[in-house]
A and B are shown apart, each in its own frame.
With several copies, the nearest count.
Chain A
Amino acid sequence: MTATLYMDYAASTPVDPAVAKAMADVLAGEAGTGNPAATHWAGQAAGQVVEQARVRVAALIGASPGEIVFTSGATEADNLAVIGAARFRRQLGRHIVTTLIEHPAVLESCRALEAEGFEVSYLPPDNQGILAAELVAAALRPDTILVSVAHVNNELGVVQPVAAIGEVCRRHGALLHVDAAQSAGRLPVDVRAQCIDLLALSAHKMYGPKGVGALFLDRERCRRVEPLFHGGGQERGLRPGTLPTHQLAGLGVAAELALQRLDSDVPAILALRERLEQGLLQVPGVQLNGHVTQRSCHIVNVSVDGVEGESLRCGLRDIALSSGSACAAESGEPSPVLRTLGRPDHVAQASLRFSLGRTSTMADVEASVAAFTATVARLRALAPA
């Protein structure tokens, strides 16, 4: 193999040229110079860009602009949601419900809260990665203040029944935080219809720039959370720091494009995924991880019998793909998510996440299938009987 293939859209996406252009335009003009907090013309020009982005992000998830707080990405937004809401509501209760397969941004936030005296129930999904709303209902206690679930799991691509979980939370009175880093722009998100109180998203998962994201806070059910840090009072004091105008312009355009393209992107990517999945599963001893149908269009995660994971990845190194979340990558450790699904360690260790996007092609898919098939065969032939 000489050509490289990008099959890691779940880790990050290329920036859409329209997004890059919007960012460059801001950077070159007075809106890029002014501090959006300043009241003079340059500050106002910046402020207009910021507010336009707020409108666009809100539109993507069915929220109002005033419910959007900008952050440095989904990691920060997840922390602000989970830690911020828990600390703010500490007097109402100290119990939090989440799942065993959350992204570290949520899992580690929960661990930090445990050190502060909160109690966290980590619910196991079924062996296809799905968390039933009934499980959440059973886990709720009078002192449960918050439930946190990722809409789409970043390793498996499974889609959780967020609306059903949201209804359960509403009935109980707990807040629902949804990590939508993988789903925003990839499947429809509607905070009202899905009974979502807090939602985190990140621009770089939807063809926007890295280093910017947003937290939605339902204006009625969750006006405030405790900020993670302090300063000049930007974003209603919930998230201080000079607002990065060009980054927000990029996020805004990315959100607008995502919404516009949802109806065409999803079937196109799904068609690629189906061929990819079929090609990969055709190789004997290859197993799909995660639910077969309740899954986002962009992720295929497979485990491979009889090959060692690191060599498998090395053999496919011209393909940018991941063995789980990019963050935990290459530690050699089997993915905790796959462990949770009951895969034996040595199988979990030989797992690959292929993820597709707007700029993926059928040729990429065919080349990936061919490379995968050849590499698995070669490594198996190399192994002792």
Chain B
Amino acid sequence: MGYPAAVLARFDAPPNAGAVAPGPGTVLRGQAGGTGEGVSVAFEFRVADGRIVAGAFRAFGCPYTIAACSLVAERLAGREARALAEFKPLGLADELELPAARRGRLLTIEDALRSCWRAWDNKGLAASNVSRSDP
């Protein structure tokens, strides 16, 4: 099975799988896809002081999907919350040596991130204790 080593490593022991550890700030959740489509991904991000302090994922999907989710959760940690709106998972395609036919999976991940962002947006409007940068 011709998966790149980087994909296999994340698939076998995916960093950031599961839930974010408890801590200060807000936990945002977002989901996209469905098992009927062959790919379903869910993210959790803990945001404190306008920054993503931790990310975690769950995924039902191919090894590329699992590796990509793991990588996305990792890459977003430390960024400003608005990255949830702006991050382009398609930019990871080369790093993951993703076959062209699989690029759709990254769009599903993007959808899930956007759904986290909308959660943040809603929360931001509701809770003034959270500082946020412009959307």
A-to-B contact residues, CB < 8 Å: 39-40, 44, 306-308, 310-311, 313-315, 317, 330, 332, 346, 349, 379, 381-385
Looking at A39, A315, A384, the one whose CB has the most chain B CB atoms below 10 A away is A384
For chain B, residues 30 to 47, give those with C-beta under 8 angstroms from any C-beta of chain A. 31, 35-36, 38-42
Q: How far is the CA of A381 from the CA of B41 in the complex (A)?
A: 13
Query: Does B14 reach chain A (CB closer than 8 Å)?
Result: yes
Return chain B residues, CB-CB under 8 Å to A40. Answer: 1
Given A382-B14, A383-B58, answer yes or no on A310-B35 (Cβ-Cβ < 8 Å).
no
B55 to chain A, nearest CB (A): 15
The answer to whether A384 touches B41, judged by C-beta atoms less than 8 angstroms apart, is yes
B2: A residues at CB distance < 8 A: 39, 44
Instruction: Report B55-77 residues with CB < 8 Å from chain A CB.
Output: 58-63, 65-66
Q: List 12 A-B contacts (CB under 8 A).
A: A39-B2, A40-B1, A44-B2, A308-B35, A308-B60, A310-B63, A311-B62, A315-B11, A346-B38, A349-B38, A383-B35, A383-B60
With contacts defined as CB atoms under 8 Å apart, how many contacts are there between chain A and chain B in the complex?
61
Q: A308-B61, A382-B58, A384-B58 are in contact. Are A314 and B3 (CB under 8 A)?
A: yes
Residues of A within 8 A of B35 (CB): 306, 308, 346, 383
The CA of A40 and the CA of B58, in the complex, are separated in Å by 26
Task: Please report the C-alpha to C-alpha distance between residue A217 and residue B41 in the assembled complex, in whole angstroms.
Answer: 45
Interchain CB contact under 8 A, B39 and A308: yes
Taking the closest CB of chain B, its distance from the CB of A349, in whole angstroms, is 7
Contacts A40-B1, A308-B39, A330-B1 hold; do A314 and B11 have CB atoms under 8 A apart? yes
Q: A384: which B residues are within 8 A, CB to CB?
A: 31, 40-42, 58-60
CA distance in complex: A78, B114 (Å)? 53
Q: Which residues of B contact A349 (CB under 8 A)?
A: 38
Closest to A330 in B: B1
Extra inter-chain contacts (17) besides given A382-B58, A383-B60, A384-B31, CB under 8 Å: A44-B1, A44-B2, A306-B35, A308-B65, A311-B62, A314-B11, A314-B62, A346-B35, A381-B18, A382-B18, A382-B59, A382-B66, A383-B40, A383-B58, A384-B41, A384-B59, A385-B58
Which residues of the other chain, A, contact B31 by a CB distance below 8 angstroms?
A: 384
Q: For the complex, is B17 an interface residue (Cβ under 8 Å from A)?
A: yes
Point out the residues of chain A lying under 8 angstroms from B60, CB to CB: 306-308, 379, 382-384
Shortest 6 CB-CB contacts between residues of A and residues of B = A384-B42, A383-B60, A310-B62, A384-B58, A314-B63, A39-B1
The docked-state distance in angstroms from the alpha carbon of A308 to that of B35 is 8
Residues in B with CB closer than 8 Å to A382 are: 14, 17-18, 58-60, 66
Q: How far is the CA of A346 from the CA of B39 in the complex (A)?
A: 10
How far in angstroms is the closest Cβ of chain A from B6?
14
Which residues of the other chain, B, contact A39 by a CB distance below 8 angstroms? 1-2
A311 and B36 form a contact (CB under 8 A): no
Interface SS of chain B: mixed
Bound together, the chains give a CA A67 to CA B128 distance in angstroms of 67
> Contact at B59–A313, with CB atoms within 8 Å?
no
CA distance A150 to B91 in the complex (A): 48
Give chain A residues whose Cβ lies under 8 Å from the Cβ of B65: 308, 311
A315 vs B65: C-alpha distance when bound (angstroms): 14
Considering the complex, give the chain B residue whose CB is closest to the CB of A329: B1
Measured CB to CB, the closest approach of chain A to B105, in angstroms, equals 11
In the complex, A383→B14 CA distance in Å? Answer: 12
CA–CA, A308 to B69, complex, Å?
15
Distance in angstroms between the alpha carbons of A384 and B3 in the assembled complex:
23
A306-B35, A308-B39 given; A314·B59 CB < 8 A: no
- Whether B63 and A311, one on each chain, are in contact in the complex, defined by CB atoms closer than 8 angstroms, is yes
Q: Is B38 touching A308 in the complex (CB atoms < 8 A)?
A: yes
With the chains together, A368 CA to B16 CA distance in Å?
28
Q: Which of chain A's residues have a CB closer than 8 A to the CB of B36?
A: 346
Closest to B102 in A: A332
Best-surrounded residue of B39, B59, B60 (most CB of chain A within 10 A):
B60
A311 to chain B: which residues have CB within 8 Å?
11, 61-63, 65-66
- Complex CA gap A315/B38 in Å reads 16
Residues of A within 8 A of B62 (CB): 308, 310-311, 314, 332
Cα distance A330–B3 when bound, in Å?
Answer: 12
Cα distance A381–B19 when bound, in Å? 11
B1 surroundings in chain A (CB, below 8 A): 39-40, 44, 313-314, 317, 330
A38 to chain B: closest residue by CB: B1
Distance from A258 Cβ to chain B, minimum over Cβ atoms (Å): 31
B 6-23 contacts with A by CB, 8 A? 8, 11, 14, 17-18
Could you say which residues of chain B place their CB within 8 Å of the CB of A306?
Answer: 35, 60
Residue of A nearest to B41 (CB): A384
Determine how close the nearest CB of chain A comes to the CB of B93; give it in whole angstroms. 17
CB-based nearest B residue for A40: B1
Residue of A nearest to B99 (CB): A332
